[in-house]
Amino acid sequence: MNSSLKNVPPKIGWYLAGFADGEGSFNVALRKREDYSLGWKVSLCFNVSQKERHILALFKRYLGCGSLRERKDGIVYYEVNNFNAILNDVIPFFEKFGFMSSKKQKDFSKFKKIAKIMKEGKHLTKEGLIEILKLRKDMNEGGKRVHKYYKIIRNLPKESSETIR
């Protein structure tokens, strides 16, 4: 377990988990990248947004990572994009202080599976990327996906006869 979790008062930990249960999001982004062998970069992100900066500052303080940014309309975002911070801080925090809603529990479970695939380097293989796409498909109720599942699958490099041998 992450040693910094010992410094989280239970009252604060459960409050933040409850807040994230309603307002937080675990995201898996795929970006088209020519410098990746499969043509896609996978990135994980945890974020929470709302107007009260001091609440989001608690996430930053007690998770020990991430950043705060403010939109012009006054909405503040707390987000963690760093893969090591997600593995070492975000996931252990929410494993300790879980979620009540079954929807967030399912999204978090899929997020953890994807993080494990990435930690093992399997996201750089066609099979691993397809597994990530399948897991991501129903997260956040399907979300507003720029790159749809079928489009990414269709555009993955085809195996050559040399690869099959």
User: Digits of tens for pLDDT over the chain (165 positions)?
Assistant: 455 787 899 999 999 999 999 999 999 998 888 888 888 899 999 999 999 999 999 999 999 999 999 999 999 999 999 999 999 999 999 999 999 999 999 999 999 999 999 999 999 999 999 999 999 988 876 555 555 666 677 667 765 434 433
pLDDT given for residue 165 in this prediction: 33
| Long-range Cβ pairs for the range 121-125 (8 Å, 24+) | 123/42, 124/36, 124/37, 124/38, 125/38
In the chain, domain spans: 3-156
The C-alpha atoms of residue 75 and residue 111 are separated, in whole angstroms, by 25
Confidence at residue 122, expressed as pLDDT on a 0 to 100 scale: 95
Task: Say what the pLDDT of residue 160 is.
Answer: 41
pLDDT at 115: 98
> Helical H runs in the chain?
10-23, 53-63, 83-85, 91-96, 102-119, 126-136, 149-154, 161-164
- The pLDDT score that the predictor gives to residue 159 is 58
* CATH number attached to the domain at 3-156: 3.10.28.10
List strands edge to edge, sheet with 40-50.
Answer: 24-32, 40-50, 76-80, 67-70
Residues linked to residue 78 through DSSP beta bridges, in sequence order: 48, 68
CA distances from 66 to 5, 39, 46, 57, 135 (A): 16, 27, 9, 10, 24
What is the dihedral angle through the alpha carbons of 141, 49, 72, 74, rounded to the nearest 10 degrees?
130
